[in-house]
Amino acid sequence: MNILVCVKRVPVTGGRISVTADGQEIDTRFLGFTVSPHEECAAEEAVRIVEKHGGTSTVLTLGPEVAIEQLRDLLAIGVNRAVLLETDGREWDATSTATAIVDLVRARADAGEPFDLLLFGNEAADTGDFQVGIRVAMALNLPCVVGAKAIEVRDGSIAVQRDAGGGREIYEVALPAVVATKEGINLPRYPSVPGRLRAKKQEVERIEVAAGGAGEAGVGGPDPAKVALTVPVTDSTTAEILGHGPEAAPRVVELLQKIGVLSR
């Protein structure tokens, strides 16, 4: 099976996020970069499917040259090939991104190397707009399942599971298809040292792209324009040690009464 995994370079957050002075970007001076957990799972799923059923996995990202770092991270866990749709570093919206991906997928099909399965993360970790996979499916007129929690390869099709209330929905989807995976579909492996060394030596195919032409691709209407980013105000929490050992009990009781767990 020939699988394409589409990922996006995003900052690793964990601490308080701050925004650049112009309000347009996240301040990434102290941040590392990664891909979203959903995308990591998509890459892991692609590697597992190829390990089990043969074929080739290709990871693709659209972004500046530095995004090669994320491609190598995924080559290191066993993805076979990498493609960078290289931009000048400006942020692309979902329609433009989808357009560039559609162009590549079509070009590969025309060259006789069509993809059987296009995997996306359910949503990007930074912008969280749930757009690109669906737009690509629409443009290519492919079936699409989002929120995938399991993929089973069958003969010429796949069975995709997703959470639905307390149970699971199961879709049997003919290939080629688009699937957006959700974290939890698998537990992605860490790269090994030999994996890292291989990834370092592997070639990354670089294709320069320019934004525009969304209409022709058929990926849908334009994105809303970004006005500004603001950091939401969060309630600060404090921790207080009420005491140690049995001596702490009266204060614990007092607190439980205060918040209404125990009646006075």
Partner 1 sequence: MSALPSHARVVVIGAGIVGNSLAYHLARLGWRDIVLLDKGRLPSPGGSTGHASNFIYLTDHSREMTNLTVDSVHQYQELGVFTRSGGLEVARTDERMQELHRRMSSARSWGIDAELVSPTQAKAMVPYLNSDILLGAFSQPGIGVVDSLRAGTIMRERAQEMGALTISAQTEVLGLDVVDGRIRTVRTDKGDTQAEVVVVACGVWSPRIAAMAGAAIPLTPAVHQMISVGPVPLFAGTQGEIEYPIVRDMDTNMYERQHGGDLEVGSYAHRAILMDPDDIPSIAAAALSPTELPFTEEDFELQYEQALELVPDILGDERVGIRHSINGLLSLTPDGMPILGETPEVKGLWACAAVWIKEAPGIAKMVAEWMTDGQPEIDPHGSDVARFHPHQTARAHVRARSAEGFNKTYGIVHPSEQWESNRNVRLSPFYEREKALGAMFFETAGWERPMWYAANEPLIAEFGDRVAQRTAEWESRWWSPIISAEHLAMRERVGICDLSAFVIFDVTGPGALANVQEMAVAQLDVAVGKVVYTPLLNEAGGIKSDLTIMRLTRDHFRVVTGGAHGMGDKKWFRDHLPADGSAQVTDHTSTYTTLGIWGPRSRDVLSAATADDVSNDGFPFGTCRTIEVGGIPVLASRISYVGELGWELYVPMEQGVRLWDTLWDAGRAHGIIAFGIGVYGTTGRLEKGYRAHGAELDLEFTLVEADMLRPRVKEQEFIGKAAFLEQRANPPVARLCTLTVDDHTSSTGEKRYMLGREPILTLEGEPLVDAKGRRSFVTSAGAGPSVGKHLLLSYLPPEQAVAGTRLLVEYLGERYPVTVAVVGSTPLFDPENARVRA
Question: Which residues make up the interface to partner 1 (CB under 8 A)?
Answer: 12-16, 18, 29-33, 69, 72, 189-197, 200, 241
In which residue are the tokens 């030999």 written?
194
Rounded least distance, CB 200 to partner 1, Å: 6
Rounded least distance, CB 119 to partner 1, Å: 21
Instruction: Tell me whether residue 33 or residue 171 sits nearer to partner 1 (CB atom).
Output: 33
Instruction: Tell me whether residue 31 or residue 159 sits nearer to partner 1 (CB atom).
Output: 31
Rounded least distance, CB 123 to partner 1, Å: 20
Which pair of structure tokens corresponds to residue 140? 């290519």
Q: Is 221 exposed, middle or buried (0-12, 13-18, 19+ CB in 10 A)?
A: exposed
Rounded least distance, CB 214 to partner 1, Å: 34
Rounded least distance, CB 235 to partner 1, Å: 14
Rounded least distance, CB 16 to partner 1, Å: 4
Quick count: other Cβ atoms within 10 Å of Cβ 254?
12
Instruction: Tell me whether residue 13 or residue 157 sits nearer to partner 1 (CB atom).
Output: 13
Instruction: Tell me whether residue 72 or residue 149 sits nearer to partner 1 (CB atom).
Output: 72
Instruction: Tell me whether residue 69 or residue 103 sits nearer to partner 1 (CB atom).
Output: 69
Distance between the two ends of the chain, CA-based, in angstroms?
A: 66
Rounded least distance, CB 75 to partner 1, Å: 12
Pick from 219, 208, 175: which is nearest to 55 by CA?
Answer: 175
**Which residues does 244 contact at the CB level (< 8 Å), separation at least 6?**
none
CA distance linking residue 7 with residue 39, whole number of Å: 6
**Which residues does 214 contact at the CB level (< 8 Å), separation at least 6?**
95, 96, 98, 99, 220, 222
CA distance linking residue 70 with residue 60, whole number of Å: 10
The values of phi and psi at residue 5, to 5°, are -115, 125
Instruction: Tell me whether residue 29 or residue 90 sits nearer to partner 1 (CB atom).
Output: 29
Instruction: Tell me whether residue 12 or residue 262 sits nearer to partner 1 (CB atom).
Output: 12
Pick from 147, 153, 136: which is nearest to 214 by CA?
Answer: 136
Which pair of structure tokens corresponds to residue 9? 């370079």
